[in-house]
Amino acid sequence: MNILAVCLAMIEDESEQQKFEQIYWAYKDLMFYCAKEKVHDDYRAEEAVNTAFLHLAKNMNMVETVISPRTKRFMVTIVERTAINLYNKRQKEYNRKLQ
């Protein structure tokens, strides 16, 4: 099951599902690009994008308009922070293994 299907299943309201799907198709490539700029790895970038979309599915009330500069900034911020958090988590795990 892909991340879009998982997220849509998490959202009960049909209009919110439609809004989520529009956001997904509008911003997924940009989000992947931004995440990859942070982690420099396709797999990790994809993980960050998927995690960011899961976060959005739980918080659809935070987005009013699908296509807007505010929504674009919001999605980029979510994915960049998610990518950084995942990177830091992996580094901590790696450093613990070295000790």
pLDDT at 84: 93
Which tens digit of pLDDT belongs to each residue from 25-77?
Answer: 999 999 999 999 999 999 999 999 999 999 999 999 889 899 999 999 999 99
Domains and CATH numbers, the chain: 3-98 (1.10.1740)
Residue 96 clears pLDDT 90, i.e. is over it: no
pTM: 0.88
pLDDT at 1: 61
- Cβ partners under 8 Å of residue 57, min gap 6: 6, 7, 8, 10, 11, 20
Residue 98 clears pLDDT 80, i.e. is over it: no
